[in-house]
Amino acid sequence: MENNKPLGLTPAMGWNSWNTFTWDINEQLIRDVADLFVSEGYKDAGYEYIVIDDCWSLKERDSAGNLVADPAKFPSGMRALADYIHEKGLKFGMYSCVGTHTCAGYPGSFEHEFQDARLFAEWGVDFLKYDYCFKPRHISGELLYKRMSLALKNCGRDILFSACNWGEDNVYQWIRESGAHMYRSTVDIQDHWDSIKKLALSQLDKECYTGSFCHNDLDMLVVGMYGGSNNNFIASQIGGCNDNEYKTHFALWSMMGSPLMIGCDIRKANQATKDILMNKDLIAINQDLEGRGAYRIKPEPQWFHAEDVFMLVKVLSDGDIAVGFFNLSDRQREISLLFWDIGLPYASGTSLSLYDCWEQKEIGVFKERFSPVVPAHDCLVVRAKLV
């Protein structure tokens, strides 16, 4: 617990090396990201975790059975790197796997859970992403995540536990009880519009499976990648997305309460990318302390709209209501919200004052309904106040 905020209360915010760099990671890269978190305003916006993903270790454990950081990539060692990050008021994250090996073929934590948890604590780790490759068939994923959760809770250090089993094995039914603070509910994201759309649609109507201390993780953000990655699967070889699509991607993840883990090379981030990633109004919705899921409303007339045109509604702790108007279709749409559908009947005599979270300005006061026209692959997110 830090600053009286319990571990995992709100969705994690940070950066992860995998989307852009995969195997090509090193100490200087991580230090550069930490420096930019402070100098470019990411830290002030709420981002705090800097996470090294797969490929950080040697291919064999040492004679005592410990994991060994690759000295060619991390010559100062993980403790020194953690200290550097902590000195900037940030937190340090690492990666392991439930199986005998990680997804890239490095040593996994199977049958070494407690030993590895103690080592991570000694290194000053604050966040552990725990992947699902090379899982032994005779042991359930549920039990393997419970193992590492128990190991982390008894390692002598607060470590946020990020379970990454890609939505397998009915994870929604047991993950909260396992002790994980966040869990992957989807396959890996790719840096193109169809992937973002598919992942978002797969998680609609699952708002009851996310909340404080156990957040539904829709995978790392691809905002600002523009098709640039060492990972051909993530880059998808078709040039990434445009800024409106990245804006919609960020709004979906924010409204749905997903952790916000940056995946682009922030050393090359343009102003549009920074404006999306550091939008204070979307981040405030994502980090709202009540941690309520966002429920879906289909626009009227419902028979006219396919599943890729919808609204997400999230009740906030101060009584405001966040409403996202999402048009994931390929043509412009009018999306009509009837206030009746969010619990505000005409008989209440109450109107809604609407604030545009992207333009960061007041829209106006409305009674009974609001019907914006939303371009293809775009969105509008408003914060509504009863007046």
Domain positions in the chain are 13-286, 295-386
Average pLDDT on 76-100 reads 99
Q: Which residue is associated with the tokens 């809604």?
A: 352
pLDDT in tens, 318-367: 999 999 999 999 999 999 999 999 999 988 999 999 999 999 999 999 99
Question: Can you give the C-alpha Rg of the chain in angstroms?
Answer: 21
- pLDDT recorded at residue 234: 65
| Pairing label, strands 127-131, 321-327 | unpaired
**Cis-peptide into 301, omega within 30 deg:** yes
Confidence category of residue 228, pLDDT binned at 50, 70, 90: confident
131 is known as an active-site residue: yes
> What residue type is 187 in one-letter code?
V
Confidence category of residue 300, pLDDT binned at 50, 70, 90: confident
**Phi, psi at 15, each rounded to 5°:** -140, 145
- pLDDT recorded at residue 237: 57
281 is known as an active-site residue: no
CB 317 within 8 Å of CB 288: yes
- pLDDT recorded at residue 5: 81
Average pLDDT on 206-211 reads 95
Average pLDDT on 246-260 reads 99
Average pLDDT on 79-94 reads 99
CB atoms within 10 A of CB 197: 19
- pLDDT recorded at residue 77: 98
- pLDDT recorded at residue 80: 99
Confidence category of residue 277, pLDDT binned at 50, 70, 90: very high
The residue ranking higher by pLDDT, 237 or 297, is: 297
pLDDT in tens, 20-65: 999 999 999 999 999 999 999 999 999 999 999 999 999 999 999 9
Which listed residue (54, 131, 217, 281) is catalytic?
131
% of residues, the chain, pLDDT over 90: 92
Confidence category of residue 306, pLDDT binned at 50, 70, 90: confident
- pLDDT recorded at residue 232: 64
Please give the Cα distance from 353 to 287 (Å, whole number): 22
HSE-CB of 259 using CA atoms within 13 angstroms:
31
Confidence category of residue 236, pLDDT binned at 50, 70, 90: low
pLDDT in tens, 124-138: 999 999 999 999 999
265 Cβ partners below 8 Å, 6+ apart?
20, 21, 224, 225, 228
Does domain 295-386 fall under CATH 2.60.40.1180? My reply is: yes
**Phi, psi at 109, each rounded to 5°:** -100, 5
CATH architecture, domain 13-286: Alpha-Beta Barrel (3.20)
Which listed residue (188, 308, 341, 356) is catalytic?
188
